[in-house]
Structure 1
């Protein structure tokens, strides 16, 4: 049989990949914390990594393993680990892999919570260089002999800068350093991180993959592009067996197990159900985002719209080359200076004022005063964040209704003078 379409794969992946008894089409939710071994040698072998199995649900469970296998197959990876949140995935990965005195190059445009975590790493003695990842030259200039990794998001939140992913991936491969990519804004139905030489992919399952705003989760996927035998920080006890699994094994043991950001079986089940409609939801949301961005860009009360699908976006051609079936569903715009951001948000009736992304509903948020309130004005300026900026996570509503909601709300204000 020829390779099936993405939606067909998503709808049938659970029942085809996992051992489901009695004809069920979804993996069962396994609520047990502990797992019995009639032969004590079995639990010894699992603890020592000599055979696969579950011993305690903080480290693994059948429900979470089923989801991990699905995500890994769709990303084309060597393995995946799921966590309670996207930040749990990021923090567990970085704390498991990097040491005091080492250096990481990261995007200047990182999401607020991720940037805050980078500050935590700095307090632990890990050096961080913030660079403009839309320019390969800045990455190259930041490289040091102790550099271990480059980390960036595909599309930055909220100003939508698009990293020069292909060039950075090629450079990291040449240097033999990890390239860690956060593809939360562009899940695998839009973007192939493995093809860009990403070593590890981190993502928030809370956002587009689950899609319904009802569950938290995160994941890290090893694409198989990196040779862990060359990584200096793999601890001796994890240098056993297949070398392609060394990195994930250490992340699982020193990150997931030790830090405890465990995804609940019920959450794994909810995420797997949400994934079935990922391709359909993403395509609709991306289509809506482009049309809404086009409308807002032509409105006299909007100063500027930030969306990679617009031809005047600084990285439009990079986005057009690397993303397929859409440019993502996040956009931001700056309201004319004479207008009040809070008043506009209060005037919207359909669009919800809430902090979240990737929901079926369109969400709006005043950026500077909320998710970037802890950053200084100078830091916000470096990231391109204006006090008049509003971020939108565009949903799957009928586009005419979204345009009508913004048109009506904007028309409540007098012409800026």
Structure 2
């Protein structure tokens, strides 16, 4: 089954009981039992819900894993995965990771004795050097948010196996349509499904796929115990969104390439971060481990004031925190998505006050180019 067909015919299709071609929304909290402990697959919707289950099977199918799990947000997914670890454990993470991930590791999970080290994961020697005797996992984004650095997933996964560590990949930017980390050796893949998988700015959700039955059993125990589960209506919205994921990702990809070429040639732009350029350090690696370059671009206009001037003049780029939607979104990472990272650390990473991040939508690209041109003039 090819990629676009799998998006529509993968997982659990329709409803056998009624013949409905769309998975029903099972808006139910509890289920009738024939006798104590004897029930027809479901007992309580925190533990399992048919609509959520259909989504979980589908994302597992798309990522090539053993089991999928749906959570109330991307951060709920990340936090639940981190509950696989214990007091005294250590995690190595990508340095310019999403600000929410940085915050939960350094402000919340550290209270429970889980420590973390942030390194440039595009340099595998830095990752290896950061591994300590108590290290349990390597957590990476590829490409990263917002500087779009590319990490060798297969290389990191191999290092992880040699050291007895789990490899966790945040695949939000690429989605399983463009990149499948489990096939490259990763143990756990997660998504902020709020972004491209949902794709329409109408749902907040997180998804996780695991590569082994053992991890599936552990994570299901955590999901059921903690209860940060996705509701049935939001699960249904994701199933619906996934059906057009391939079409959307191809359009995001095509539009982003045209806009990146426009930006790199513009005198008002200092630097453009986009992995689809041949001179990008991760270009060849991206071509090897992904089938597209995605819809994200970051660029530097030089200062906070110039960034604000740009925002004030744009018509079709919506100033918003999120990404991966059908509409084009724009943000200033230093004051928005990555504001939780201390300024000195941001500047050290290259997240300047003039850095702008755009999530290229699926509008007519000529309208987007004209909008950027008039705003930068």
Q: TM-score range by the shorter chain?
A: over 0.9
> How much has 1:293 moved relative to structure 2?
0.6
Are positions 1:380 and 2:346 aligned together? yes
CA-based RMSD of the aligned residues comes to 1.6
**Aligned with 2:149 (options 154, 161, 181):** 161
Aligned to 1:310: 277
**Aligned with 1:9 (options 1, 6, 12):** 6
**Aligned with 1:247 (options 211, 215, 218):** 215
Q: Would the alpha carbon gap of residues 84 and 338 (structure 1) be closer, same or farther in structure 2, given more than 3 Å must change?
A: closer
| Structure 2 runs not aligned, ≥5 long | none
Are positions 1:350 and 2:347 aligned together? no
**Aligned with 1:267 (options 222, 234, 249):** 234
Are positions 1:323 and 2:290 aligned together? yes
Aligned to 2:38: 42
CA distance in 2, matches of 1:100, 1:404: 53
Whether the aligned pair in 2 keeps the contact of 1:170 and 1:196 (CA below 8 Å) is no
Aligned to 1:198: 186
> How much has 1:282 moved relative to structure 2?
0.2
> How much has 1:372 moved relative to structure 2?
2.1
Secondary structure of the 1:70 match is helix
Counterpart mapping for 1:10-409 below 5 A: 10-13=7-10, 17=13, 19-42=15-38, 53-95=41-83, 97-119=84-106, 120-224=108-212, 244=213, 246-254=214-222, 256-324=223-291, 326-337=292-303, 340-409=306-375
> How much has 1:19 moved relative to structure 2?
4.1
Which structure has the larger Rg over C-alpha atoms?
1
CA offset digits 1:84-137 (Å, max 9, x no partner): 111111101112x11111111111111000110111222221121111100110
Tell me whether 27-36 or 170-179 shows the greater mean CA deviation.
170-179
> How much has 1:390 moved relative to structure 2?
0.7
CA distance in 2, matches of 1:374, 1:217: 21
CA distance in 1, matches of 2:191, 2:276: 22
Secondary structure of the 2:57 match is helix
Whether the aligned pair in 2 keeps the contact of 1:154 and 1:162 (CA below 8 Å) is yes
> How much has 1:337 moved relative to structure 2?
4.3
CA offset digits 1:41-86 (Å, max 9, x no partner): 415xxxxxxxx82211122101100111111111111111111111
CA distance in 1, matches of 2:232, 2:218: 22
> How much has 1:263 moved relative to structure 2?
0.4
> How much has 1:200 moved relative to structure 2?
0.6
Give the alignment's TM-score, normalised by structure 2. 0.96
Secondary structure of the 1:24 match is coil
CA distance in 1, matches of 2:305, 2:266: 13
CA distance in 2, matches of 1:338, 1:178: 39
Secondary structure of the 1:249 match is helix
CA offset digits 1:14-52 (Å, max 9, x no partner): 6x6454333211111101100111222415xxxxxxxx8
